[in-house]
Structure 1
């Protein structure tokens, strides 16, 4: 069978809803795309109603991404060209100038179950084998599988705080270290961390929430025409996935190429000093603890410029991402009914000398979705 005949069959067997076909939820889609372009943004926390397509969107994003080169039969998806994303074993082989077998594979999207243990997440060391045979017997966990991919934690607000800490530490450092009985093993663990949850079922502790780079709020679509469009699209996909995928194939390839180009362009993107000072002024005026807010907003603004093929980040780029980067870092007053995204927008407008339109103000307060993201 020819490659052209086998590829569609492989794609049909996965039956993943295409990312470009997803209607609405622009905040969530933008935050995910920016984290793919620059994983150092630090992941996305998606909070919103049940049944709003959170997991569908994340699976669609993983399916959209191009295949990556990995070291064949390596459990950590080591990059054959980047020593910073290689396991110690592969690095030793490179140092010995041995030939490294290379394969291509799809970007992994790893689901972390709510009841997962720390051993399941981080991996385990077989002490008996290590002591009796003198080898480092390591059983990789979900963090190893997620390296260079996406790690998705649904209902992250119900996950044990200790496990959330482990995930965030690995995401920040890019490495997972397992220690037991004096034996220590580490492996690369660079992934885009995506958490989702329903605020009705409990909030994350502020110190954990702050560790997520961006925070997207999603709501159930209210407009009847849009709801009908979403229902009809899903019915069309379920009835004939292959035909539906072919309908969106060109758009998928176009967006995939935009992401690849953006990743290549990102190191060249600059931002004026005055804009960086203004970002820090907004963070200071909002009394944001630490410097994560400043760093993430700078990164996100550059990533959106790269996505649109530009090498200079603008005020408009900052406007489109600043609420996503800062709203979850504000100290909450339980008696306050104002949406935190609106508060960020208001201070942004004052510091940058811009006024929000009444349409944007109304959108921000009623939906938590800003017109500028669209």
Structure 2
């Protein structure tokens, strides 16, 4: 989830990123006639005189008898990688097959992530009325309204949310029963020098005070999105324990945005060893987080998968993995991509709301079809298109 995106939203939604035209690659110069590269050269190969000396040296080294077994090992590794990718793709396609079970639709516990414009004065009463008209016939019960970001030291300026109380009162008036939670986030210094450091006790204490501060301002819950958060972070678990005491004292909700779960055991460790960005959480760590909060929303988007069937199968798998370790008393919400982008992390043609809804229903059907504390979370209001709302309503609400 993009913290910066939430604070600088535009009402027209995100625009697709234009593709960069590929640079043409020059073809190999093959001579004609009896010259180099022509019929007189036997097979049309490039003349040795045109091959750089370093390349000829590499070629001779690669053909050395001592490299016979290393070459076989390298080839075997390539084949294993290719076969693994094919197997994974097949498994995801299989996950996307079949029909969702009857009754695997909204439990009226859904949520919507909303931008900063709702608390900084840009939105008015008319906007709340329009929002109420949109949400009234849906299953949305919680609004995660961006009220941050937190400072790197864990503090939160009150000037960041001047219209918070107005919004809460307006929503209660137009949408009785819908809760307004403060969405608080920051970049963690887990993969760079700049950001929040949860290993500092003073920083964690400041975050807890900030939670009490926004609850005193009228919000009915605190929703935290701290990224990139690596699996098995004990400081994060300690922070959640402290936050839970504060939210319970205010009779408020504690909710978090969660990373995706390892699709294969320990994949986060393998990925992290090569990229310094582990991406996933272990299933065990996800369960530890889920046991400490009232709501946990999986950020089940930005998967880099290129096809709708693969993405839908992946969401089905994520739903099952999350259900297996989330307590039945905790609301588990699967994220829906209410935005369009086209880049390496997110292929808009593949990551559709329709595919995410179908995948969510399939995972629910196979794992715990009667789970009551379950729903979806829509990301994000200011980038949503009409087709996103239609897919949500037709696939999940009706």
- TM-score, L = length of structure 1: 0.30
Which structure has greater helix proportion?
1
- TM-score, L = length of structure 2: 0.29
Higher Cα radius of gyration: 2
